[in-house]
Structure 1
């Protein structure tokens, strides 16, 4: 089946531009992507987290059997998906980019994923309600769902120390420079190397952060922004005509996002033929 995308450009001479592809197309900013469905077998998937070494995409979903949130994983090449056992009521996931170790956060602490048994095992912080996890630069950080404050984790998940004295934190990320990007009820902020706090003057809310190729991006309702921590500014790099529940970057320019009960893969189109049909406007 062929899909046709029509773009109309109004000028002195009307021009009809046609792209002919074997999959649906999705435009993000100035780039065009092939859009493929990865799965529609999970309810309300979010917290998409990609592991480059295994080509696995981990995510959270609402499980009707356990009557709570569960975890699952899908291979983006084979599209084989499976539920992860051993954890319930989980809220967070993080992949160590250096070791590919996978961690989950739950109401009763920190879990580590065993890919051989496909189970998650509780390893510490049993009294912490973990809302968000980040592992970067061989360090682990978490957001406590009870007090909405940020902590740095030590001793392989045995202890946690307050990172910055900011309350009502709803979302955060650590970039490659160890800058702390976070969102509170009062706006979007960045703590330079975890210390000097700068408020972003361009954005009031970010739904999730993405760190890729040394840059930090914020996903909002209307687009993707490149964030400048030191200057407290944001520059739109791509507009969006959809609102993703969750979004993350993969390899080779791929983008993964969830919407409703669907997870999609967007692959950039590097070359294509464009047929322009001209007709005079009277």
Structure 2
């Protein structure tokens, strides 16, 4: 990722830039071998899933669990990335799925009873399609896809209606993503798979990850937010590599400056460059070695 390369090139050569080593608290995160400070965007949420950042408004859309008496349901909120003020999205019962159509700058939500389209001017969601269907996931690139719950079947919009994707019949889908290079990624309870131009059939990348979100940065790198951290597609090899260790990762996206935004079980963070990057990196790596 270009951001990581630039930070490495211009990182301070001194071990620490603080006047007093005792003033430095290294409670950030190492991402791709660079230490970053963690900025809390939102805290005390219930399992923040499906992070989608809208760069034109500075709004971060996220689904999370909400307590309704003795029952647990899902809801979608929008949070301004700078003011950190959050607003619930009304009109989407059990709102969970979030999909962004970057070509047309349209945002869609999925809940217990169908797909909804978000109106930025009115900040309201209006019913769009698939009345009565429970929507698990939405993905839009060239075509409009959604995952139905609880069957985990994958559907695509063709000729004025949604039909099941023929290549995915009989395959359970939990997460689905198509890169700008038209590489297809999907995961289920069995493994994480990839289908690229060189392979007609899915190739397993890992059978050990619990994948909760798949995203791509502006440079074509594909990332997987998993329960134990953030991984990336280790091209051209058919494998993944972990680039950040996170306890209970739930979602991930990038802001307009390609800064990483991610969530754990209750909070959403943004990673910012650190003046003490070299010192804290060495300190955390040393502590990790000591634990071993």
TM over 0.5: yes
The secondary structure found in structure 2 opposite 1:62 is: strand
User: In the comparison of the two structures, how many residue pairs are matched?
Assistant: 259
Aligned to 1:36: 39
Aligned to 1:269: 274
Q: Which of 138, 152, 155 is the aligned partner of 1:151?
A: 155
The secondary structure found in structure 2 opposite 1:122 is: strand
Residue 203 of structure 1 and its aligned partner are, at CA, apart by: 4.3
The secondary structure found in structure 2 opposite 1:32 is: strand
Q: Which of 121, 130, 136 is the aligned partner of 2:135?
A: 130
Root-mean-square deviation (CA), in Å? 3.2
Distance 1:116 1:37 in 2: 27
Whose Rg is larger? 1
Aligned to 2:108: 103
The secondary structure found in structure 2 opposite 1:214 is: coil
Aligned to 2:56: 53
Distance 1:191 1:19 in 2: 50
1:180 aligns with 2:184: yes
1:219 aligns with 2:225: yes
Cα gap change, 1:161/1:201 in structure 2, threshold over 3 Å: closer, same or farther? closer
TM-score normalised per structure 2: 0.76
Residue 110 of structure 1 and its aligned partner are, at CA, apart by: 1.0
Distance 2:35 2:119 in 1: 37
Residue 255 of structure 1 and its aligned partner are, at CA, apart by: 1.5
1:92 aligns with 2:107: no
Cα gap change, 1:190/1:234 in structure 2, threshold over 3 Å: closer, same or farther? same
Residue 251 of structure 1 and its aligned partner are, at CA, apart by: 2.6
Aligned to 2:30: 27
Residue 86 of structure 1 and its aligned partner are, at CA, apart by: 0.8
1:78 aligns with 2:80: no
The secondary structure found in structure 2 opposite 1:64 is: strand
Listed as ranges, the matches of 1:6-21 within 5 Å are 18=21
- Segment drifting more, 260-269 vs 103-112: 260-269
Q: List gaps (5 residues or longer) in structure 2.
A: 1-14, 283-292
TM-score normalised per structure 1: 0.78
Aligned to 2:249: 244
What do residues 19-68 of structure 1 show as CA deviations (whole Å, max 9, x unaligned)?
Answer: 96699532223112121111225433222111122221101122335952
Q: Which of 158, 169, 175 is the aligned partner of 2:173?
A: 169
Q: List gaps (5 residues or longer) in structure 1.
A: 1-14, 277-282
Residue 76 of structure 1 and its aligned partner are, at CA, apart by: 0.5
Greater percentage in helix: 2
The secondary structure found in structure 1 opposite 2:57 is: coil
Asked if 1 retains the 8 angstrom alpha-carbon contact of 2:41 and 2:268, the reply is yes
Asked if 1 retains the 8 angstrom alpha-carbon contact of 2:227 and 2:250, the reply is no
Distance 1:24 1:235 in 2: 23
- Segment drifting more, 89-98 vs 184-193: 184-193
